[in-house]
């Protein structure tokens, strides 16, 4: 089931399309890594999903049932569905003069939770703030504020979490703890998550699917397995007879992916061993003109996607 599905989602500010015809698909149980440059429209998309910003046009379907059309009020059922969402977008909305415990209690009472005291205690323990529950929020470090912000998002036992840069301000230990907590919430409670973050190495450890946004438009959605397959190391091979070499390599390594590049080079990705490819080419009696291992990291991969998406938007506007 789709937990989130947007179609043609658009938001215009001052004549500028901050989000432009945006289509997004988040399935039940996903940890959805939402990737894009600053100003690409990530926060605006998340705010529209949670009803904090009204779409200019387009539609948002939540939990496979509710559809909210831009420019129209959400029906009563839509309002109930929005209560199933926990949100941490931009800076946590904390009451600085209240303690962590009282911040959570205020949110619990606003939600009408009958077991508010028990839920507050559990949430403080869950986000690692049980030892500082009586400390005022204004005295918290940025990392502690992020933890409390996550606690506020969790207090209503949501089915969906929208998290905008949840690793901000966390030291390495805090980042690991946050990542572990998110994994546990997903695995043990089935909470679906959309996580926007520039900390790509952390997303890489937990995301099951990705969406890449550039200039307000969806560039591409893909699974974590697809990202790994495309982002992994590759091999560039060039021989005197590239067409013959390509046909022979495809027969020898059926699990690998081959791309014929301009200039006669062959790019090899996926299931192969460098030494085995070299041995195969030697057995084919093919003179080697180039044999280069290419290392590629996750950041380079997503930057290429974002820049490619930005180029497509600019071309469409010309």
Instruction: Give per-residue pLDDT as tens, 268-304.
Output: 887 778 888 888 888 888 788 888 887 767 888 888 8
DSSP-derived secondary structure letter, 108:
H
Q: Which residues of 133-154 are buried (b: 16+ CB within 10 A; e: fewer)?
A: beebbeebeebbbbbbbbbbbb
For the stretch 138-155, pLDDT in tens is 999 888 999 999 999 999
Q: What is the pLDDT of residue 309?
A: 55
Q: Which residues of 236-274 are buried (b: 16+ CB within 10 A; e: fewer)?
A: ebbbeebeebbebbeebbeebbbeeeeebbbebbeebee
Q: Where are the domains of the chain?
A: 2-219, 233-294
Q: Give domain 233-294's CATH architecture.
A: 2-Layer Sandwich (3.30)
E strand or H helix that includes residue 3: strand 2-13
For the chain, give the mean pLDDT: 87
Contact 196, 164 (CB under 8 A): yes
Residue 315 reports pLDDT greater than 70: no
User: pTM of this prediction?
Assistant: 0.79
Q: What is the pLDDT of residue 288?
A: 83
Cα 108 to chain centroid, rounded:
28
Instruction: Quickly tell me which residue has 């997004």 as its tokens.
Output: 24
d(CA 200, CA 223): 15
Q: Calculate the CA dihedral of residues 150, 156, 160, 165 and round it to 10 degrees.
A: -10
For the stretch 56-109, pLDDT in tens is 999 999 998 756 554 444 456 667 788 899 999 987 889 999 999 999 999 999
Q: What is the mean pLDDT of residues 234-254?
A: 88
Q: What is the mean pLDDT of residues 151-163?
A: 95
Q: What is the pLDDT of residue 91?
A: 79
Q: Give domain 2-219's CATH architecture.
A: 3-Layer(aba) Sandwich (3.40)
Q: What is the mean pLDDT of residues 111-132?
A: 92
Strand order in the sheet with 209-214: 85-88, 160-164, 192-196, 31-35, 209-214, 217-223
% of the chain residues with pLDDT over 90:
52
Q: What is the pLDDT of residue 77?
A: 65
d(CA 86, CA 162): 6
Question: Mapping DSSP to helix (H, G, I), strand (E, B) and coil, where does residue 111 land?
Answer: coil
Let me know if 70 is exposed, middle or buried by CB neighbors in 10 A (0-12, 13-18, 19+): middle
Q: What is the pLDDT of residue 187?
A: 95
For the stretch 184-203, pLDDT in tens is 999 999 999 999 998 888 89
Among 222, 201, 202, 169, smallest CA distance to 300 is for 201
Q: What is the pLDDT of residue 275?
A: 87
In 28-85, which residue ranges form alpha helices assigned H by DSSP?
A: 42-49, 76-82
**Phi/psi zone of residue 280: left (φ > 0), alpha (ψ -120 to 50 degrees), beta?**
alpha
| Token representation of residue 294 | 């290419």
Contact 22, 34 (CB under 8 A): no
Q: What is the mean pLDDT of residues 15-21?
A: 94
Q: What is the pLDDT of residue 76?
A: 66
Among 36, 8, 78, smallest CA distance to 203 is for 36
Q: What is the pLDDT of residue 300?
A: 84
For the stretch 246-270, pLDDT in tens is 998 898 888 888 888 888 889 888 7
């Amino acid at each position: 089931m789709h937990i989130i599905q947007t179609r043609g989602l658009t938001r215009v500010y001052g004549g500028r399309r901050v989000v432009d015809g945006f289509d997004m698909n988040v399935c039940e149980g996903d940890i959805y890594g939402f990737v894009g440059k600053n100003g690409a429209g990530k926060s605006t998309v998340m705010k529209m999903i949670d009803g904090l910003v009204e779409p200019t046009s387009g539609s948002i379907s939540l939990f496979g049932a509710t559809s909210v059309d831009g420019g129209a009020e959400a029906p009563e059922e839509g309002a109930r569905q929005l209560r199933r969402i926990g949100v941490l977008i931009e800076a946590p909305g904390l009451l600085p003069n209240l303690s962590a415990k009282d911040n959570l209690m205020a949110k619990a009472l606003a939600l009408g939770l009958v077991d508010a005291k028990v839920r507050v205690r559990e949430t403080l323990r869950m986000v690692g703030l049980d030892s500082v529950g009586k400390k005022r929020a204004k005295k918290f470090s940025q990392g502690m504020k992020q933890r409390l912000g996550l606690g506020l998002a969790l207090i209503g036992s949501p089915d969906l979490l929208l998290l905008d840069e949840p690793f901000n301000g966390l030291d390495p230990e805090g980042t690991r703890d946050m990542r572990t907590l998110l994994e546990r919430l997903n695995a043990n409670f089935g909470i679906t998550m959309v996580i926007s973050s520039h900390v790509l190495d952390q997303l890489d450890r937990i995301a099951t699917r990705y969406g890449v946004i550039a200039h307000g438009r969806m560039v591409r959605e893909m699974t974590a397995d697809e990202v790994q397959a495309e982002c992994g190391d590759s091999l560039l091979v060039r021989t005197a007879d590239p067409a013959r070499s390509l046909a022979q390599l495809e027969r020898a390594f059926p699990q690998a992916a081959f791309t014929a590049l301009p200039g006669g080079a062959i790019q090899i990705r996926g299931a192969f061993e460098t030494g085995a490819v070299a041995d195969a080419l030697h057995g084919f009696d093919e003179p080697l003109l180039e044999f280069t291992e290419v290392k590629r990291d996750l950041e380079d991969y997503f930057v290429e996607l974002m820049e490619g998406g930005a180029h497509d938007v600019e071309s469409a506007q010309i």
